[in-house]
Amino acid sequence: MRSGGYELRKWISNSPEVLSGLPQEHQQDPHLFEDVDGPNMDVLGPASTHEAVKILQNDTFYSVATDASNHGAIKMIPLMVRFYSPTTNLKTCVLDFYEDANETASAIHMNLLTWLKECNIDTKHLTILCR
């Protein structure tokens, strides 16, 4: 990437070997999460989700997209948002994946409202819901 004029920044890793040799200003500060026993703590996704939630809590207009994917008898449903902020421009982020055997519009609506309420994200800034 460097030979093309692109310099990667905001590196983060659980492995010190990956970060060795990188200047400190190219490394992302780690985020600390209270739910350290959660299933997603082994991936970088929580840092992105945490950042998106903080932005969405600050009167940012956003759209939500969701769809179901069958994994055997289990339906996995992603909850994705798209929003604009001056620091990130247009951003799309997967906020959550949840299982739901009941793929009705009512059940998806209730799951969405529950998730937004738990994250203190106001629905008055929700502009579009795509399914």
Per-residue pLDDT tens over the stretch 53-88: 888 998 889 999 887 776 666 677 888 889 987 777
**pLDDT < 50 regions, the chain:** 40-42
What local confidence, expressed as pLDDT, does residue 79 receive?
84
Q: What's residue 93's pLDDT?
A: 84
- pTM for the full model? 0.59
pLDDT for residue 4:
59
Spatial CA neighbour of 79 closest among 9, 15, 43, 126: 126
Token pair of 107, please? 């059940």
Delimit the CATH 3.30.420 region(s) of the chain.
42-130
Q: In this predicted structure, what is the pLDDT of residue 65?
A: 86
Q: What is the pLDDT of residue 19?
A: 78
The token pair that represents 21 in the structure block? 């040799």
Q: What is the CATH number of domain 42-130?
A: 3.30.420
d(CA 32, CA 34): 7
Q: Say if CB 118 and CB 53 are below 8 A apart.
A: no
What pLDDT shows up at residue 12?
Answer: 74
Q: What is the pLDDT of residue 104?
A: 77
